[in-house]
Amino acid sequence: MNILTDKNIKHIVESLYKSNLSESISIMEVCGTHTMAISKYGLRQIIPETINLISGPGCPVCVTPASDIDTILEITENYDISLFTFGDMLHVPGSRSSLYNKKSEGKDINICYSPLDALNFAKQNPSRKVIFLAIGFETTIPLTSVVIKRAYTEKINNFFIYNVHKLIPEALETLLKDERIKIDAFLCPGHVSAIIGSTHYNLIAEKYKIPCVISGFEPFDILESIDMIIKQIKNNKHEVQIQYNRVVREEGNPFAIKLIYEIFDKTDSIWRGLGNIPDSGLKLKEDFLEFDAKIHFPVKKIRSKEPPGCQCGDVLKGIKKPFECGLFSNICRPDNPIGPCMVSSEGSCAAYYRYEQLKV
């Protein structure tokens, strides 16, 4: 597909070349949908070489640590439960196995498209203990909150969540504190920002002097957002701008935010590759602990380990690009994923494998 036939896109690309950057800049996108779009439409190849697009921890499946994968596997092994999860999680390898392998062994593991599927199954099967693997950033957390609230109101006592939800803004600051990572600007996630708004990025812009632009997902959106970033850098500015203004408001979605914090409190959370990040996760409030699978289905502590040779941690931090991992496309492929970045439909390795192998 030659997107340069679009006059608007051609105009934006010409503007980027006219910027005449004196040195290379690195822009990190922190959304897996952006990562896929950048690779699919070949955006890296049509912009100046001085603009380096790097992928960050924008895939919730990818940043879920091996310890959580191993724990949920142990629960399926030790308890007679029905587990519901999104499709991408099925093939993510733990230290010794995967949910796909457990399913093939006869464990009751089901793919769902919404936590409501799991809740409805629990209601229809009151003698069956049902766990929903609650994963995702701020985009999906409100729906988990709705489900918990409904389970509480309807007194559904056989429904639980294994919660691995995470919050994006706190992770961005952690990335900026790592001296190995060069980040000159952030391409901020549109879906997440539709919920939280733009003000949560103000600290990044003000404290670290980093331009932030909240972008939509079409090629023109992304290129225009990059152009907005370049203009900020050229004018020595560091602001939070909203390119995706047809969806994102400065205040976000107050109703959704209120709903999240009716059910959850902030807590520390471990991210694959980034380690423990303060206040980057969520825990159920005391009134809703009856739905916490981690409490109701305890398992022995597991010594988790990353797959040998897998560089997903460095890929998620933007230190390495997927093709710099020795396993990429050689041993690690979508039909034989070694790490989560090759498994997920939003993973950087999956994006590079599908769209960029002939371009690197």
Per-residue pLDDT tens for 121-138? 999 999 999 999 999 999
Quick check: is 182 in a domain? no
pLDDT digits (tens, 9 = 90+) for 27-49: 999 999 999 999 999 999 999 99
Structural domain includes residue 159: yes
Give residue 358's pLDDT band: very low, low, confident or very high (50, 70, 90).
Answer: low
Mean pLDDT across the stretch 178-197? 96
Q: Is the pLDDT of residue 1 over 70?
A: no
Kindly state the percentage of the chain with pLDDT values over 70. Answer: 99
Of all residues in the chain, what percent are helix, strand and coil, respectively (each to 5)? 45, 20, 35
The answer to whether residue 91 is domain-embedded is: yes
Q: Evaluate whether 82 touches 102 at the Cβ level (below 8 Å).
A: no
Interval 213-227 mean pLDDT: 97
Query: What's the half-sphere exposure (Cβ side, CA atoms, 13 Å) at 179?
Result: 0
Sign of CA dihedral 63, 65, 68, 69: positive
State the CATH number of the domain containing residue 138.
3.40.50.11740
The dihedral of CA 300, 305, 306, 307: what is its sign?
negative
Q: Which residue has the tokens 């009151």?
A: 126
pLDDT of residue 284: 98
Residue 54 belongs to a domain? no
Q: Could you tell me the pTM of the whole model? A: 0.94
Confidence class for position 5, pLDDT limits 50, 70, 90: confident
**pLDDT in the model for residue 71:** 96
Q: Quick one: CA dihedral 298, 301, 307, 309, positive or negative?
A: positive
Q: 265 lies in which domain range?
A: 61-166+252-296
What end-to-end distance do the CA atoms of the chain give, in Å?
Answer: 18
Backbone region of residue 271 per phi and psi (left: phi > 0; alpha: psi in -120 to 50; beta: other values): beta
pLDDT tens-place string over residues 198-209: 999 999 999 999
280 pLDDT tier (thresholds 50, 70, 90): very high
Residue tagged 């902030």 (tokens): 266
Q: Distance (Å, rounded) from C-alpha 17 to C-alpha 268?
A: 42
How far apart (Å, rounded) are the C-alpha atoms in residues 4 and 17? Answer: 14
In a domain, 88, yes or no: yes
Both tokens of 181, joined, read 């990572």
| Domain count of the fold of the chain | 1
Distance from C-alpha of 20 to C-alpha of 41, rounded to nearest angstrom: 23
pLDDT at residue 360 in the model:
46
